[in-house]
Chains A and B, each alone.
Chain A
């Protein structure tokens, strides 16, 4: 084709709703510019589906600039497609070749039920966050910005953990559908800073308990999550979470005799 545009075959998971059984459906994506993002390519396909009176393919997206964590898609066996350290909205069609068949599936995990087509319910992550992924700060006078000294390397490491956008690619990539990279990043970003210390030991216990309750798998240290994370969250976070969890459970429990009671 003289324009350099591409013709592709898409195999897409279509599922009416959470209750119905889904199946792979084949579509043609024609005259696709290599400079389109993957989501724009799906927009083009959806426009043609709408014109034909068909139901468009449902997929999650929001900011389309790689920071919101909404876009998902398991593309040709990899979360967010073949490139490293990007989200699906940052994936461009030039990463594929003309005539290629692309398989597009939703995140697969018991804890991420399919809502419709390629959109999954990731509220399990919200519930894990709500169980302890915060610091309780009392209102009052504004403290001086540099009152608490934090070493640069520690601040950087905490910030690296905090770059997690909660997209769920770690769960999608893990052969066990484990959420440990996400949970450990959310624990680490607070556990490394002074502000996170008062709730450090209760936080790790609560968040791990919620993670288990949501039905995620456990970690076998394959490192697939780290390799597929759009923000390159490190496996070190999981080690740090493990260390904090065992410390909290086995050694660091507050020095009180009974929880919630004061003496006799």
Chain B
């Protein structure tokens, strides 16, 4: 075991941990954006609430979620340790401003990452913690006519305190009762400062990943004449453009909708 310890305590080993946890967080973003596309459906939150309910009650998701929390913590701690080590590698700094031609994002990963950590804490506090541990969220009852497809939605007051969800059929109607996280989304994204904070955070995601995604492959030693351009293309267009843009559109669209109400 001590040899593994030595490996992961080396400068390269610490970077390996950064790369692996970072790439895992990248793959999570794809799933998270995919699921949250339900927010763009005009179905009074049915799709989104059922999806949130599924995530909260499907055991394998629970396991992956804890792995995810662990990755966020490890990625942050190792970033801090590496930064401290790197600072101490140059105790006397230069007088002249460093003019080395390196990308802005690659030189500011720590600041970008700190913004993201702050965002994750606030974001999880508002949605994840509220969903799991707070009793402030109400419930919605979706009654869907299985023949015609018509759906009606009403507020639902559970009869007992620890009610979580239920699905039943009454004649031709399917009745789904789930926690109303969608209402929380609508409420949160009706505040301008909150929307602005989200958009800034997604800007940080973009700049963090335009460097981070391809950098992880370099750290792992996976560079190749043919594959590296593909990695850089995915890092730029998927992780630094499409994903942050997709996430940023959610608060923007909900804010615009809140203005017309």
Residues of A at under 8 Å CB distance from B?
11, 13, 24, 74, 76-78, 82, 103, 105, 108-111, 173, 175-178, 208-209, 211-212, 215-224, 227-228, 235-236, 238-246, 249-250
Give the interface size class of chain B: 35 or more
| Candidates B13, B15, B94, B102; contact of A224 at CB < 8 Å | B102
B residues contacting A by CB (< 8 A) are 3, 7, 10-16, 82, 85-86, 88-103, 106-107, 109, 211, 215, 218-223
Tell me if B90 and A177 are in contact (CB < 8 A).
Answer: yes
Please give the distance in Å from A99's CB to the nearest CB on chain B: 18
Given A77-B99, A108-B94: A221 in contact with B211 (beta carbons within 8 A):
yes
Best-buried of B82, B94, B100 by chain A (most CB within 10 Å): B100
Shortest Cβ distance from residue B239 to the other chain A in the assembled complex, whole angstroms? 15
Question: CA of A239 to CA of B85 in the docked complex: distance in angstroms?
Answer: 21
Question: Inside 8 A of A105's CB, which chain B residues have their CB?
Answer: 94-96
Q: Is the CB of A110 within 8 A of B94?
A: no
Closest-CB distance, B40 to chain A (whole angstroms): 35
A221→B106 contact, CB < 8 A: yes
Chain B residue, CB-CB nearest to A179: B89
In the bound complex, how far is the Cα of B211 from the Cα of A222, in angstroms? Answer: 8
Q: B104's closest neighbor in chain A, by CB? A: A222
A241 to B223, CA, bound (A): 11
Docked pose: A244 CA to B103 CA in angstroms: 27
- Give the shortest distance, in Å, between A23 (CB) and chain B (any CB): 10
Number of residue pairs across A and B with beta carbons under 8 Å?
134
The CA-CA distance from A229 to B86 in the complex, in Å, is 20
Q: Are A110 and B221 in contact (CB under 8 A)?
A: no
Question: With A and B bound together, what is the CA distance between A103 and B95 in angstroms?
Answer: 8
Give CA–CA (A219, B221) in the complex, Å.
Answer: 12
Which B residues are CB-close (under 8 A) to A103? 95-96
A3 to B85, CA, bound (A): 51
Given A77-B97, A77-B98, A218-B82, A246 and B211 touching (CB < 8 A)? no
For the complex formed, measure the closest distance between the CB of B82 and the CB atoms of chain A, giving whole angstroms.
6
Distance in angstroms from A253 CB to nearest chain B CB is 8
Contacts A76-B99, A239-B218, A239-B221 given: A110-B88 contact, CB under 8 Å?
yes
Q: How far is the CB of B17 from chain A (nearest CB, A)?
A: 11
Q: Flag if A109 contacts B98 (CB, 8 Å).
A: no
Contact yes or no, A221 B218, CB < 8 A: yes
Closest to B13 in A: A249
Residues of B within 8 A of A211 (CB): 11
Q: A74-B94, A219-B15 are in contact. Are A242 and B10 (CB under 8 A)?
A: no
Chain A: CB-nearest residue to B12: A245
The residue on B at minimum CB distance from A172 is B94
Taking A77-B96, A228-B100, A239-B221 as contacts, is the C-beta distance between A249 and B89 under 8 angstroms?
Answer: no
